[in-house]
Structure 1
């Protein structure tokens, strides 16, 4: 390739000369006149990769499946390594990249490299994309143009108006000066209005008249209490993650809540978040042990779980484990059980009931001539001596002996 200068005239803030390089077949490529530092990280035009510079080499780190992502101004989710944004037409899929073909396929936006940048109106250049970046290649020198002129290194040698030279843009201006086309181009990095907000990207001039997309670290939405998801910029890629647990937020009803660390605004994260004394926090909701409802981690109404004490009938070794505060016969009981009553009988469900008639009570009714009467009393069995009928299970004492 052979480099040679092309005269140019400009205004303040614009480059006053451009250089061209003969690229063969009569085409030349505009090249910036000054060296720019090379950034190792490269935009791969994939919203579901984080573009980094690692050990001097560009790396494209895939985001997790289901992660939030953005294409242009629309938000989607990462699916199979690409950002799936729902769409109704291709017009809604614009990602602001001149080198991508934006289409709606099957209700999902597809943004693939392969597009041709818009025509700059200069018949002496041909628009194309190289490595995903818009470029202009001058056509063959001698190609007819303008008012009887011919193309020379991407500009027409004869003109009668600015419009015959090209369509001016934010990054370049075409002039017809003394019958000859000239072009002035904005310096590299000159900012251009950005049509998309909060996408971690900005638009600047590349010094060759093209629009270039650059990473903007602070292109973030303003802080909001209505969401528990926060956005950060990693290179060109917006990355969405949950706010820290306990961060205050507003739920869909406008109530003050706390972020749960997974991106949701919930009523509480800790007991201290609950406004009423005695409430406890379980699974993001305030509950209590005396509200007449089965909620929180309760296994029945106002009992069970880690907070409310065990329900009636639950096995126990100490009274403090029971909601009732009573541990009788190894189970949580509703009442203290006396002689010939029990909480451990099958089907009692933690209620203290009489020991069945003619059964012993290990707690005190164990003598050979004694048994429980089925009504909660220890009485004399039939066939044994008695003084009155009140001593007998049968309530019948004849000739000093309990009889049926």
Structure 2
């Protein structure tokens, strides 16, 4: 199965290539339009061909990486070429403006050699281009990583749901085996998140987790219990009974949620330590009093790289039901994070991982809708209203799911 980020990246590049072909007649008509910078003639045609070449190289690297996935440098090159392509139009315009400005300034400062002005402008332009390229590459990689991890988690939850279906079909051995696969994959993902070298030896990874205080001894015992039951299901003739299979599925579900929410951030730890106080403040809704809690929640969301555990979701849920303006405040100047947060609303607030909570989730959904509609009615800020309407739309479209 293709990575979600791979499909997203290819979609973007195909769209841009379509733009390249669309504007070709325009470029041909004004191909000589441009400016002279540092004694080099830079025309619209040069910028166009450089833009198209970077896109073409990015497509080639993506295709090559699809065949040679283990060579991470190919993926890096694909992202670099894509960032260069995106940087080309604004840098071209920026250089043009710089050139016009220098020519204008040189008319007033006759004693300063034009070459010096060009040299200074070249340094500024180069530095700006480098910063813009690095920023675009970072944002692009960060966004794609979040897409991958969110999609990966959703797929693992769906596989766990398949294990429950096998259990209901009284195929207990297969249910335990399927649950173990999901737990094993989750452990591997957790190792990646903490920079632990990948290993097929699950025991080595688990011991490393304990050594780094990522999991405690109780978690280790539960994971070993799942592993032992899985081995018995595969290698022995004795079938797994219903009670054992049910126990393993419950342990698996609990551990997957816990492992995915394992924090490595001071902000998260602060929120956990001040959980009751933060929830109480969010219910009150005083923006001044909530400032520190909002800053910590915003940081915890970003540092968790999109992996949303129930511990973080409860803060957003409380704010949406009681004080929607707090959520607006968090994402007001963070459009990209806001988009990603909206994409996760169904998973955060309306997915029942425990079982038997659908009535409560439905009640929460109605309360959120009522609260946000009331906020929109009394709000005077058009931007805030627009954000609230997007939240409202996402909540109304969300389905309540039960992972059992």
Normalising to structure 2: TM-score of the pair?
0.20
Computing the radius of gyration from Cα coordinates, the structure with the larger value is 1
Report the structure, 1 or 2, having the larger helix content. Answer: 2
Normalising to structure 1: TM-score of the pair?
0.20
Report the structure, 1 or 2, having the larger strand content. Answer: 1
**Greater relative contact order structure (CA < 8 Å, 6+ sep):** 2
